[in-house]
Structure 1
């Protein structure tokens, strides 16, 4: 009887863990979708240099924020960091346009430059990533900050 009770307890604990993990993945996906949507919705390519022909801005459900800019000269700039390292969000500008600074705990932002005719290929680290935004309300910035912090905490729990 004692073995049966122990087996039952272990089975219930395993089931509880599976349910918790299923919900945490769903919450992470929701946070990721919201962050991705807000950044894409308010991205301001008008602030960018006229030399940029396109960009990619992605937030993954595995916790990475990636920003890539392609210049007409062929140069590519790539910025990436894990949201586990996210510390704070700062915004400099007005509700019409400004720059969003995603700050990390240390030099955790990977910065890579490819095909640069002047400086060649360069790999370095930074403490923040800058994304130009437009038409963003203070409430959107507050929600974005809150969601990034929640996602940070959920990713830390999963580690």
Structure 2
């Protein structure tokens, strides 16, 4: 049983590293370049996905969820450009906004939307497979 726990931890780290690399490699900043000046996208080896966007007007949006809460993913677009929807089981995505004209907001959501480019269906299937394995070792 103890060996199994260590092998899963290694798998989680490997899966997180793969997901981080894939999302950064395929991130499409051109879809948001008129509004967003900077972004941070991290998949941590302790099982979190975090996405932060810094807007030109000073507003900041932060999204985060535990990978164990992953339910499914959808991709809308073409191989050259589209949007990845990472969906959770229920409203498991933390959403925070700062410096917004409407005020700072803390809420929950059921997905994170990440703009991607140059990604094939096979890459998306591998991402989904690894996210699913995190939930069902």
Q: TM-score, normalised by structure 1?
A: 0.82
| 8 Å contact from structure 2 (residues 13, 46) kept in 1 | no
Q: Who is 1:39 aligned against?
A: 23
Equivalent pairs counted in the alignment come to: 137
Partner SS for 1:143 = helix
Give ranges in structure 2 of 5+ residues lacking alignment.
none
2:82 is the alignment partner of 1:94: no
Q: Deviations over 1:23-44 (max 9, x none)?
A: 2211111111101100000000
Unaligned 5+ runs, structure 1: 1-16, 155-159
Q: SS of the counterpart of 2:30?
A: coil
Higher strand share: 2
RMSD of aligned C-alpha atoms? 1.1
Q: Does 1:139 align with 2:122?
A: yes
Give the structure with the larger helix fraction. 1
TM-score (norm 2): 0.95
Query: Is the deviation greater in 32-41 or in 21-30?
Result: 21-30
SS of residue paired to 1:145: helix
**Partner Cα separation in structure 1 for residue 11 and residue 90 of structure 2:** 27
